Structure 1
């Protein structure tokens, strides 16, 4: 199970309203507990034995990750649409240092307009808007690292 599948599971559980979900597979155990103010995920995974000549049981590693229960990362104003990062990488507001920003607050955008660039593994990926509207807020600083599904911009579709 990869990190993307775990993130999707956490979001699904938080949205479902379940108080606790346990998932056990051959080499991994995941417990997700939701409360009134936070969601907590515990992942227990069997680690390989460093020296294969020893006859010992696998060592279990446990990671507890607090996660905001508010999975919907949109602004308090529900009329805004959030443009999110489709990949992990470094966020850039302009195509090159000597060029102007793709968009500013107040810029009108259409579906397919480039709003930023995200560099991942030396590849510069142009991120296109999937909505039309006006940029209300830029949520990430230029040259900052971003995660998958991290909010980048708020757009007013009206």
Structure 2
């Protein structure tokens, strides 16, 4: 895997909304972590030593470990009182019950505990995701019809 492919992978992960991706191949291990806003916070590229029983003295040099860091301290302090609603399952995120219906929740809408916020489709089953808190939706962190992972942040809610 060359540097260009790794850069393309970093861009893809940053735009996908996934919090963390780990990729392991024969001699390469890549871990990419992103913030809720989709900015890449840490990228690790490590070439691991292959296990060689016949040549124990052979040493494969390790690649440099590039680390890209973006700090957003004001945003973190600003979001400290917000509650994150996360995906309980893996699937496809939908903001609407059907294409011709309005979205369950919009930024700025007030929600109550038990209100349906979205639907996640997993194995042809549509699972309604209900709010566990009352408050106001500050940010929707996932695009409609996007794949989501288990425990991936979906919404930021201000409980006040």
The TM-score bracket by the shorter chain reads 0.5 to 0.7
C-alpha RMSD of matched pairs (Å): 3.3
Q: Cα distance 1:75–1:99, how it changes in 2: closer, same or farther (>3 A)? A: farther
Other structure's SS at 1:135 match: strand
Partners of 1:157 and 1:75 in 2: CA distance: 17
The answer on 1:153 being equivalent to 2:155 is: yes
Pairing 1:86-101 to 2, within 5 Å after superposition = 86-101=88-103
* 1:111 positional shift: 0.7
In 1, Cα distance between equivalents of 2:85 and 2:142: 11
Determine the C-alpha separation between the residues in 1 that align with 2:114 and 2:134. Answer: 9
Deviations 1:34-70 (A, max 9, x none): xxx8697x9xxxxxxxxxxxxxxxxxxxxxxx9x9xx
Rounded Cα–Cα distance in structure 1 between residues aligned with 2:132 and 2:113: 5
Picking from 98, 107, 110, the partner of 1:108 is: 110
Q: What is aligned with 2:34?
A: none
CA apart distance, 1:75? 5.0
State how 1:9-88 maps to structure 2 within 5 Å: 76=77, 77-88=79-90
Secondary structure of 1:83's partner? strand
Which segments of structure 1 move beyond 2 Å, counting only runs of 4 or more?
37-40
Count of paired positions: 102
Deviation at 1:84, TM superposition (A): 0.4
- Which of 90, 110, 119 aligns to 2:121? It is 119
Q: 1:155 to 1:130 in 2, by over 3 A?
A: same
TM-score norm. by structure 1 comes to 0.54
Q: Which structure has more strand as a fraction of its residues?
A: 1
* TM-score after normalising by structure 2: 0.54
Match of 1:138 among 135, 140, 152: 140
